[in-house]
Amino acid sequence: MIQSYINTITPLDSNSSSVVFQKDCIRTNSCNGCRSWLCHNEGSANYEIVNGGIYKISFNATISSATTGVVAFALFNNGEQIPGTLMAETIDAAGDYADIGINKKVRVCCNGTSTISVRAVPTIPTATAPTTPITTQVPIIGSANLIIDRRC
């Protein structure tokens, strides 16, 4: 298992930036260890799973924006957005905060690898006109946690 976090207010560079967690506080395996399943360097946005299995990924954050509008994040696997992981919140006034979170199980093939990351999402579909996307705002993260846990 690994748990990484952000505890200081962290503005992202753009509305498509990857989230770089500041610190790994719990880490039970790494590529440098015996029977490892995870390669991650503290301060990197990428978490490489190198053994097959089912993994539970949990992400939660307190988010904001310097301007009003929608802020969105999603989990990504090998650079592709994982279906069902889009998290979007409308920030009604600059500096307001909202909470987002997701739990998702991801299967990694027995001979494959998977690189997991959390990224801001630059556009999201609208409910009334899905072909006309909404452009999101540049997010600010107040605090965040990412946990990747091997289930089997």
- 80: which 2 tokens? 């592709």
Q: CATH number of 2-150: 3.30.420.40, 2.60.120.40, 2.40.50.140, 3.30.1180.20?
A: 2.60.120.40
- The ranges assigned to domains in the chain are 2-150
Provide the total of helices (H) and of strands (E) in the chain, helices listed first.
0, 14
Question: What pLDDT band is residue 28 in, cutting at 50, 70 and 90?
Answer: low
**pLDDT value, residue 27:** 67
Residue 138 identity (one-letter amino acid)? V
Instruction: Note the pTM of the prediction, 2 decimals.
Output: 0.92
Question: What pLDDT band is residue 84 in, cutting at 50, 70 and 90?
Answer: very high
Give tens-digit pLDDT for 86-143: 999 999 998 899 999 999 999 999 888 999 999 999 999 988 888 889 999 999 999 9
Residues 6+ apart with CB under 8 A from 69: 90, 91, 134, 136, 137
Question: What pLDDT band is residue 56 in, cutting at 50, 70 and 90?
Answer: very high
